[in-house]
Amino acid sequence: MSGDFSFEIAARDGAARQGAISTPRGVIRTPAFMPVGTAGTVKAMYPGEVRALGADVILGNTYHLMLRPGAERIASLGGLHAFMNWPHPILTDSGGFQVMSLAKLRKLDERGVVFQSHLDGARHELTPERAMEIQRLLGADIQMQLDECVRLPCSEPETERAMRLSLRWAARSKAAFGTQPGRAIFAIVQGGAARRLRIESARELVAMDFPGYAIGGLAVGEPQNVMLDLIETIAPHLPEERPRYLMGVGTPGDLIKSVERGVDMFDCVMPTRAGRHGMVFTRFGRINLRNARHADDPRPIDEQLSCVAARDYSRAYWHHLTKAGEILAMMALTAVNLAYYQDLMAGMREAIAKGRFEDFRDEVEEGWERGEKRER
C-alpha cells in the first residue's frame, strides 16, 4: 500500500457535498454509509457481499474487539483487514458509546474509564492512549478519539463536564495517535443538546487540527428535528475541507436530511438489525414482512433494487421464512436493506453532482409517502 489520507469535494448543491476520501486501501465515495461490523463482521453477511452491494468502508468497534477476541490477537493474525477478509477501508469507533451503554460498574475519571465487561464481568481500563493503541493494533484506516458519551436528557452542568473531559481526551488521543502514514484520526464534537457547548466543542477541536470531525452523542432517542437543528448549529463551525461524520445515524430519512445539511459519512446498525427482524427499507418506505398482509403477496420487495432477494422472490416467501425463524430470511433481508442504503447514497451522490439534490430528495420522500399509504 502507498499513498496518503485526503479528502476532496467534487461538487456542492446547497450545503450538500459530493466527494471522496482517499486512503491507501481505497477510495470512500461521499456521502457514504458505513455498514456496522462491530465484532469483525457485518451480521449475517460475507464481507464480499457487503462490498458487492456498494460499501466502500465498514465500521469496527474498539470496545467489542478488545473484549473478544482481543486486539493483540487480531494484530498477531495480520490485523483486522486480514482477519475478516476485508481489504478495503475500515473505521473503528473508540468504544466510548459502548462503555456508556453496555459496560457494568463504570468508574470514570481524568485518566480514563474502568469498567466491567458485559460479557463476563472482567475488569478493563480504557484510556485515550489505550483506545488509540487498540485501533493501531487493529490496523484501522480511520480511528476515533476516546470521548465520554452522556445519556440524554442530561443536565447542562453534567453535559459540560463530559464535553470538557472529551476535549482533553481528544488532545491525548491525537498525541497517542502520533504519525501513522495513510491513516487518520477523527475528533468527536460533544455537548448534548446545548448549542453553546456544541459550538465550543467544535471550535476547540478545530483548533487541534484533526483530519476529520464527527458529531457524536445524537441518535439516542431525541426527535429528528432536534438532531437536524444541532447539525445546522455545528456544521458552520467545522472546516469545509474536512470530512464530517454523523455517528450512529440512522433512518433513510435521517440520511437525506443530514446530507442536505452538509454531512459526509454515516454508520448505523438499523439496516442490519431491522433486516434480521423482518423489516425492510425500500423506495416504497418501510415494509414489515412479518405482517399477515404479506402472506399471500406474490410481488417482489422491490424489482428495481440491486439485490437478488429483493427482485427474484416474493414478499409471501420472505413473510413465511421470517415467521418460521429461518436463517436465510435474516441473511437475505439484511442484504436488501444494505442494498437500499447503498443505492440511496449513490443516488444522492449523483444528484449532488448534477445539481438536483432537492428534486431527488422530493422524489424519494414522495415515493415513501405513497408506498406507506398503500401499506396502511
Residue 98 to residue 72: CA distance in whole angstroms: 20
For residue 192, give the nearest of 157, 237, 244 by alpha carbon.
Answer: 157
Angle at the Cα of 95 (from 89 to 98), degrees rounded to 5? 125
Catalytic, out of 93, 141, 147, 302: 93
Catalytic, out of 13, 254, 264, 267: 267
Residue 208, number of CB atoms within 10 A of its CB = 14
Q: What residues pair up with 22 in beta bridges, in sequence order?
A: 6, 27
- Contact 92/123 with Cβ under 8 angstroms? no
Residue 27 has, within 13 A of its CA and on its CB side, a CA count of 8
Label the pairing between strands 285-288 and 279-282: antiparallel
Which class for 223: exposed (0-12), middle (13-18), buried (19 or more C-beta within 10 A)?
exposed
List, as one string, the DSSP characters of 243-257.
Answer: -EEETTB--HHHHHH
Catalytic site includes residue 93: yes
Angle at the Cα of 368 (from 362 to 369), degrees rounded to 5? 85
Residues annotated as catalytic (active site), given as ranges: 93, 267
